[in-house]
Structure 1
Amino acid sequence: MNRLKGKNVIITGASGGIGAEIAQQCAEKGANLVLLARSKDKLDTLKRELENRYSIQVKVYQLDVANKVRVEQVFKDIFARLGHVDVLVNNAGFGIFREAHAVQLDEIQAMFDVNVIGLMACTLMVLPHMRKRKSGHIINIASQAGKLATPKSSVYSATKHAVLGFSNSLRMELADFHVYVTTVNPGPIATNFFQIADEQGTYVKNVQKIMLDPKYVAEKIVAAMLTPTREINLPRWMNAGSVIYALFPRAFERIGKRFFDRK
């Protein structure tokens, strides 16, 4: 897979989980990396590891994507240093699983600021350059929750619905510019995401057997880079559930309620 060799790849939320796994696998393919996350210490550690193992350049920036001013500053510096970006992976995001009546407004604001506005802000920074070059790939990490809402994830699902809507429109806008837009819709992944999302540990306990390996998810994402892949849906059987839900929502909600309530 030589198409990533020498390419410039930006990954948000790169300090752990699938972000770090994507960085690792891109480095193996010879891509130069720009890693963004709130934890600078973790990014510095990952940078040293990757540069010691591979003949690539890795740049790191401390960034909370909810900080729009900082997003603009960081991306201006990236373009000043690299000249262009080939792939942007919008991976930064988090969730809090609570029933709607128990969610605080500041938690709602925070989820939308990171999962939606932050993703859009980073995307807007690369769009003019990719359109001008008529080349590039934007990969947005959404979720099966963006297709199939469940109890206790009303706000998180709403943010991922927004990501899918934004991505689907963007894909059509960029089609004539040869810029690809891919959404990644995974089910639960075995990462530290659930330390925040599932404080009680109930959800993790109930779905532990079907949780995805972050390395496997990253493999699928990296394999799709710079190809016209519309969506990556993992696992496939879960995506089949979202298709059935779209066709028969009332029956699906009635039959699936007992399972969903275990969350």
Structure 2
Amino acid sequence: MDLTNKVVVVTGGSAGLGEQICYQAAKRGAIVVTCARRIQLIGQVKEKCMELSGKEAYAFQLDISDPDSVDSVLGKIAEEVGSVDVLVNNAGYGLFQDFFEFDYEAARKMFEVNVLGMIYFTQQIALDMVSRKKGHIFNVASMAGKMATAKSTIYSATKFAVLGFSNALRLELKPAGVYVTTINPGPIDTEFFDKADPSGSYLASLGNIVLEPEKLAKAIVKRMGEPTREINRPRVMEAASRMYILFPHIGDWLAGSIFNKK
């Protein structure tokens, strides 16, 4: 897709992968709309996008878990920006804890952010895309949604849900010419792990399989407008996830040994 003057909306666009997706889209001439809770940070992302694209950019404060906030932002996008050409559902977070230590409210909140909020935000945008018979939706899931590991019970459950939702939505929207792509990254060197693993030991134990957000963002933006089912990184974890499906006992061994670093 030629992204010149195309409207690209990114949730969770204040930092990390979402921020880098905004910049890569702006470099290709897109009109970027960054949405996140931290208004000061998305304001900075907006300003940089305008510098990179030479075009208008937008920043809307969004709490994806709050339906009223979602309605408000969707209204602002429709009124101030226009129809969305590309939606990147990147907002989400994780907590790595033993299941028996997990608080129910924390689990509920994670589902509201990672799954339910994403679904609600997507619905109205998808309806408009279908009416125009064009558009592309990217949902950021995780390798944890393909191959669950210990201490990621709730996080993996949310990402399995994102995968299931995306796979069904892809089939529903295909006849209308709207693409749905699932992004399944392994660990990315971002502030995600400040909350997921405050000790810092998980990232430190992974070595060179840790992804760089800028590099992954380039791969995602490159696929905008192309009918792509999934983007899986790193390759070694993609191979392991396939092994997990084809040979589940070997997959359990991989998930419980080589990839069990939490």
User: Is the structural similarity TM-score above 0.5?
Assistant: yes
Deviates more, 1:205-214 or 1:164-173: 205-214
Encode CA deviations 1:34-82: one digit per residue, 9 max, x unaligned: 1100100011112222223431111111111001111011102211222
- Helix, strand or coil for the counterpart of 2:169? helix
* Number of residue pairs the alignment of both structures matches: 262
Q: Spell out structure 1 runs of 4+ moving beyond 6 A.
A: none
Work out whether residues 30 and 53 of structure 2, in 8 Å CA contact, stay in contact via their aligned partners in 1.
Answer: no
State the 1:261 CA deviation: 4.0
Distance 1:6 1:112, change over 3 A: same
Work out whether residues 141 and 182 of structure 2, in 8 Å CA contact, stay in contact via their aligned partners in 1.
Answer: yes
Matches within 5 A, 1:181-192: 181-192=180-191
TM-score normalised to structure 2 length = 0.97
Identity %: 44
Encode CA deviations 1:21-44: one digit per residue, 9 max, x unaligned: 011010100000111001000111
d(CA) in 2 for partners of 1:113, 1:225: 27
* Equivalent position of 1:97 in the other structure: 96
d(CA) in 1 for partners of 2:230, 2:165: 14
Distance 1:255 1:28, change over 3 A: closer
Deviates more, 1:201-210 or 1:102-111: 201-210
- Helix, strand or coil for the counterpart of 2:35? strand
* Equivalent position of 1:250 in the other structure: 249
State the 1:195 CA deviation: 0.3
* Equivalent position of 1:10 in the other structure: 9
* Equivalent position of 1:164 in the other structure: 163
Work out whether residues 36 and 62 of structure 2, in 8 Å CA contact, stay in contact via their aligned partners in 1.
Answer: yes
Work out whether residues 95 and 197 of structure 1, in 8 Å CA contact, stay in contact via their aligned partners in 2.
Answer: yes
Flag structure 1 segments of 5+ consecutive residues without an equivalent: none
d(CA) in 1 for partners of 2:134, 2:201: 44
Matches within 5 A, 1:195-214: 195-214=194-213
Work out whether residues 149 and 255 of structure 2, in 8 Å CA contact, stay in contact via their aligned partners in 1.
Answer: no
Is 2:258 the partner of 1:259?
Answer: yes
* Equivalent position of 1:147 in the other structure: 146
Work out whether residues 72 and 125 of structure 1, in 8 Å CA contact, stay in contact via their aligned partners in 2.
Answer: no
* Equivalent position of 1:23 in the other structure: 22
State the 1:256 CA deviation: 4.5
State the 1:255 CA deviation: 5.2
Work out whether residues 143 and 185 of structure 1, in 8 Å CA contact, stay in contact via their aligned partners in 2.
Answer: yes
* Equivalent position of 1:226 in the other structure: 225
Encode CA deviations 1:177-228: one digit per residue, 9 max, x unaligned: 0000000001100000000001222211211432001011101100010110
TM-score normalised to structure 1 length = 0.96
Work out whether residues 151 and 260 of structure 1, in 8 Å CA contact, stay in contact via their aligned partners in 2.
Answer: no
Flag structure 2 segments of 5+ consecutive residues without an equivalent: none
